[in-house]
Amino acid sequence: MANIVFNVAKGRLAAYADLPLTNDALIMVPLAAAGLGSDATLMDCATLTAVKAAATEQTTLGRKILTGVTATVDNTNDRVNIDCADVTWTATAGAAIGAVVICYDGDTTAGTDSDIIPLTKHDVSMTPDGSDFTLTISDFARSS
C-alpha cells in the first residue's frame, strides 16, 4: 500500500490506472536510499523531474512498466482498489533502494520526465546483491 499519494494525483488515481490514452503506461521508478527526500517534500512534487530533484533515481535497476493494471470499484468498502502484477528485477545491481514511485506516463513513445506524473510512493528497502528481486504487489493504492 502507498506510503504517500502525491498531491498532484489525489482524486485522479483511478483515471490514470484506466490508462485512457494510446501510448500511456504506469511505470515504477526505484529511488536510491541515500539522499531520499522526506515524504513531506516528495508529496509536493508534480513531475518525475521534481521527484528526481528531491531524490536520486536508482538507474542501474531501471524503470519497470507495470502490467496487469486494474482499477476495481469496491462498493462494499466504498473505495477503488488499484492493483498490478508483481514486479521483478533480475540480477540486481547498483545502490540500495529506499523507495519506489509509481508514475503515470501519458506518452511512452515521446514523453520526458517533466511530462511524467508521480502518483504514489512506496517505502521499499532492498540492497542489490546480484540475485533476482520480486516486489509483491497487492492493491498498490486504495482511494476512498
Residue 118 has what pLDDT?
97
Virtual CA dihedral for 110, 63, 89, 102, nearest 10 degrees? -120
The pTM of the full predicted model, rounded to 2 decimals, is 0.93
List per-residue pLDDT tens for the chain, 144 residues long: 788 888 778 778 889 988 888 899 999 999 999 999 999 999 999 999 999 999 999 999 999 999 999 998 889 988 889 999 999 999 999 999 999 999 999 999 988 999 999 999 999 999 999 999 999 999 999 887
Residues forming beta bridges with residue 26, ordered by sequence position: 104
Give the model confidence (pLDDT) of 76-101 as tens digits.
988 889 999 999 999 999 999 999 99
Type and span of the H or E element at 71: strand 70-74
